[in-house]
Amino acid sequence: MSEAVSQPNSIKKILPLILATAIFMQMLDSTVLNTSLPAIARDLKESPLNMQNAIISYVLTLAVFMPASGFLADRFGTKKIFITSIILFSLGSLFCALSQNLTHLVISRVIQGIGGSLMTPVGKLALIKTFDKNELLKAMNFAIIPALIGPVLGPLVGGYMVDYLSWHWIFLINIPIGILGVTLGLKFMPNYKSADVDFDLKGFLIFAAASLLLSISLELFGDLQNTTPVLIVFILGFLFMYYYYRHAKRDNSPIFPLNLFQVRTFRVGIVGNLATRLGISSVPLLLPLMIQIAYGQSAVTSGWIIAPMALTAIFGKSYVIKILDKFGYRQTLMINTFIIGTLICLLAIPDINTSLYWFVPIIAVLGFFNSIQFTSMNTISIADLRNFQTSSGNSLLSVNQQLAIGFGIAFGLIVLKIFESTDLIHGEPHNAFRYTFLTIGILTIISGFVFRRLHISDGKNMKSKED
């Protein structure tokens, strides 16, 4: 029996576009910022490596507030929370453009993060509740196609704005997109609520503290001078996670019920997302940094080098359903992760005298397989969730994804800093990037073994309807 709520065809047609608008804003914002960090650092008189705070603060805010997204949607309705979140994100973007120093920018990114923490999870929740399981893969896949325009435009638009206008405009472009999202949301976003809602405040605070401590510890690992305080914060994060586990066992309605992890596909999806994104998430930050710092090229050049990743990702979306129908989730995810890891390793081959064009085919192919990876991981994670598990499961999946992105960014910078401080690079910054790509590529290959826990038949209920 279908667990989806019957909706008019007009809503089913527009809802994936509404979700795409939300993801588009977030992806455009993050990719624009990646290529623009050196320029913003110069204007704000900060070191480019210190500018990671502008990225990490946003990711930390997402991790802290996302656990509440399911409760807020159930309590106040998906429509009201979604529209409020887009307004918050747009206001945060405006404040980012008005920032006078790094502190102002970080605070503005936190406001953006509060909006972003609700925007995408609530949009996804509405999509999951609207479509049947055998329609969901196609709907989710369609929702992400227009959203992938963000990474295409991000590096290019960001690069041109930084070089020919000013970095402030990279945030102002979110405002018209936000207005579109609010307009579509008011007319077409369904307003799902739950009659039985009980917010686990204690569990929320414990889980938020654990997420925050773990993320901060990863960021601080970049400071190799004094590791003892960092290790203490890291251990505290795990202690809070264990504390949440004990709390969830005793509480009648924890914010993330432990029975979610009895669903094997959800469990594998969560672990797989965290493991594979450690390497994948650092590439869009490290490659533009390498092109600008080691090769001395402009933001526009680094933007053109990165752009093929998103173009081929859009192309890949049209093949995801066919590939999953033919090979199944288990085989697809294992092989696909191995290919992605190998491609990341290939980024380490060119030396400082090699043409930048060498990176273009690698990045293009990487975008194609990334597209398959994300759609496959996201849909297998929710494939076997029951209706009563949807809100909490979707929230936890969103938290996990954002933590993984934050971990990936922090981890990539940590590895880079470690190699920069060794004699292996022979005084060449470019070699530090090469060793970093090799390291994260190998770890990505190893992470593919997580998907061995899937059964061959897993995801059969996600098989799309024939047109």
**215 and 314 co-located in one domain:** no
**449 and 354 co-located in one domain:** yes
Q: What is the CATH number of the domain that holds 136?
A: 1.20.1250.20
In a domain, 2, yes or no: no
In a domain, 1, yes or no: no
In a domain, 71, yes or no: yes
**165 and 44 co-located in one domain:** yes
In a domain, 3, yes or no: no
Structure confidence at residue 157 (pLDDT): 73
Kindly give the confidence (pLDDT) of every residue in the chain, 467 residues in length, as a single tens digit, with 9 standing for 90 and above.
334 555 667 788 888 888 888 888 877 776 677 667 777 888 887 777 677 778 778 877 877 888 888 888 888 889 999 999 999 999 999 999 888 888 888 899 999 999 988 998 898 888 888 887 777 788 877 777 766 666 666 767 777 777 777 788 888 888 998 999 899 999 888 888 876 667 788 888 998 888 888 777 766 765 556 677 878 888 898 899 899 999 988 887 888 888 888 888 999 999 998 889 888 888 887 888 888 888 888 777 877 887 788 788 888 888 888 898 888 899 999 999 999 999 999 998 887 877 888 888 999 999 899 889 988 888 888 888 887 778 888 888 888 887 787 778 778 888 888 887 777 776 677 788 888 999 999 999 999 999 999 888 887 766 655 43
Please give the residue range of the domain that contains residue 172. 9-199+255-462
**244 and 265 co-located in one domain:** no
**227 and 145 co-located in one domain:** no
Tokens at residue 186, please?
Answer: 């008011």
**284 and 267 co-located in one domain:** yes
> 254, 272, 296: which is the final residue of a domain?
254
> 209, 224, 254: which is the final residue of a domain?
254
CA dist., res. 238 & res. 234, Å (int)? 7
Number of domains in the chain: 2
Structure confidence at residue 108 (pLDDT): 93
**31 and 168 co-located in one domain:** yes
In a domain, 467, yes or no: no
In a domain, 295, yes or no: yes
**151 and 241 co-located in one domain:** no
**171 and 319 co-located in one domain:** yes
> 254, 285, 318: which is the final residue of a domain?
254
In a domain, 421, yes or no: yes
In a domain, 448, yes or no: yes
**68 and 149 co-located in one domain:** yes
Structure confidence at residue 352 (pLDDT): 80
**214 and 138 co-located in one domain:** no
CA distance readout (Å), 223 to 50, 98, 226, 240, 414: 11, 30, 7, 23, 8
**14 and 145 co-located in one domain:** yes
CA distance readout (Å), 19 to 104, 136, 155, 229: 29, 13, 22, 41
C-alpha count within 13 angstroms, C-beta hemisphere, residue 139? 26
